[in-house]
Amino acid sequence: MSEIKSAALIVNAKSRKGQKLFRRACKRLETLPFPVDAHAVEKPEHLERTVKRALAKKPDLVILGGGDGTVSGLVDLLVGHDVILGVLPLGTANSFARTLGLPLDLDGAIDVLATGVPKRIDLGMIDGDYFANCAAMGLSPQIAETVPHNLKKVFGRVGYLGWAGVQYAKFAPFVLIVDDGKEERRLRVVEVRISNGPYHGGTWLVDEAAVDSGQIVVQAVTGHYRRRLLKNWFSNFFGLAARHQDTISFTGHDLKIDTEPRLPISIDGEVLAHTPVRAKIAAGIIRVMVPRNNA
């Protein structure tokens, strides 16, 4: 890309896997036709200042390596800068990368940096916080907000799933209130997805959402019993037509969202807000490198 003359790479290298992938990425990035200033960040609290230092050098491309939470947590810093975002999908779900049509393997994602094209896309907003992909209310943020800090580290996935089971037993449907400025709707629901793209948790969930639609989509899974949530998850995972039976979607540029009772909101996997909030779209606010066939 003649437009790109310099780049910065910032990788969330907290895990051993992250460190290994960083080394692989650096070796592969040497083949690109422009220099890349690479940073492996082992402490997540240092990610923001590393990105700010990289931006101060005015690169044409900033490559973020990590999962959806890493990208969403740092994308705010790129807004207002004349810079293109590149994504190396190093997470578990990689929903944002899937939405962009990026290859999920490291070599394929790096090829896109060399052969792809910049595409202007929207970002979602929860109040003043930009996010790349999807925010959610329901069981997932309840688990994320309550899980003991070292449980997964000590007991692994089995311990985490056990905690999830405990929280599911405690979980109850709630009331969603959506106000588009013209009408207020109240629904009994078991989950809510506030989407800038169709993927959530690595699974295609929200048909109406797209990163260049200029609209935020609020999808509610309706129901008075928590088992309705399991039915919807199962139907979505296997791509069954039944996944549409229990959902209602609202679209707009600016929607007021509240719940009874008040609930936490996870933004691309991290609990960062609580209802009530305003869900908005920032149309075409950032450029991101995508494959040519997805521009």
CATH number at residue 83: 3.40.50.10330
Q: Give me the pLDDT at residue 229, please.
A: 87
Q: How far apart are CA 207 and CA 155, in angstroms?
A: 36
Which residues of 127-269 form beta strands (DSSP E)? Answer: 129-131, 134-137, 174-179, 184-195, 199-200, 203-204, 216-222, 247-252, 254-260, 264-267
Domain span at residue 60 reads: 7-116
Looking at the fold, whether 200 and 92 belong to one and the same domain comes out as: no
* Closest among 292, 267, 285 to 85, alpha carbons compared: 285
Q: How far apart are CA 47 and CA 24, in angstroms?
A: 20
pLDDT by 10-residue block (mean), the chain, 295 residues: 84 79 90 92 93 96 94 94 95 92 95 94 96 93 81 67 85 96 96 95 92 97 91 87 90 97 92 96 97 86
Q: How far apart are CA 249 and CA 206, in angstroms?
A: 9
Q: Give me the pLDDT at residue 201, please.
A: 85
Looking at the fold, whether 189 and 112 belong to one and the same domain comes out as: no
Evaluate whether residue 252 is within a structural domain.
yes
Looking at the fold, whether 21 and 61 belong to one and the same domain comes out as: yes
Evaluate whether residue 227 is within a structural domain.
yes
Number of domains in the chain: 2
Looking at the fold, whether 102 and 139 belong to one and the same domain comes out as: no
Looking at the fold, whether 154 and 238 belong to one and the same domain comes out as: yes
Looking at the fold, whether 98 and 147 belong to one and the same domain comes out as: no
Evaluate whether residue 162 is within a structural domain.
yes
Looking at the fold, whether 72 and 112 belong to one and the same domain comes out as: yes
Looking at the fold, whether 13 and 77 belong to one and the same domain comes out as: yes
Looking at the fold, whether 22 and 149 belong to one and the same domain comes out as: no
* Amino acid found at 170: K
Evaluate whether residue 197 is within a structural domain.
yes
Evaluate whether residue 269 is within a structural domain.
yes
Looking at the fold, whether 162 and 193 belong to one and the same domain comes out as: yes
Looking at the fold, whether 265 and 147 belong to one and the same domain comes out as: yes
Evaluate whether residue 212 is within a structural domain.
yes
95 Cβ neighbours under 8 A, 6+ residues apart = 68, 133, 134, 197, 199, 200, 201, 202, 268
Reported pTM: 0.90
Q: What's the CATH code of the domain at 203?
A: 2.60.200.40
| Residue 173: its H or E element | none
Looking at the fold, whether 70 and 209 belong to one and the same domain comes out as: no
Evaluate whether residue 128 is within a structural domain.
no
Evaluate whether residue 287 is within a structural domain.
no
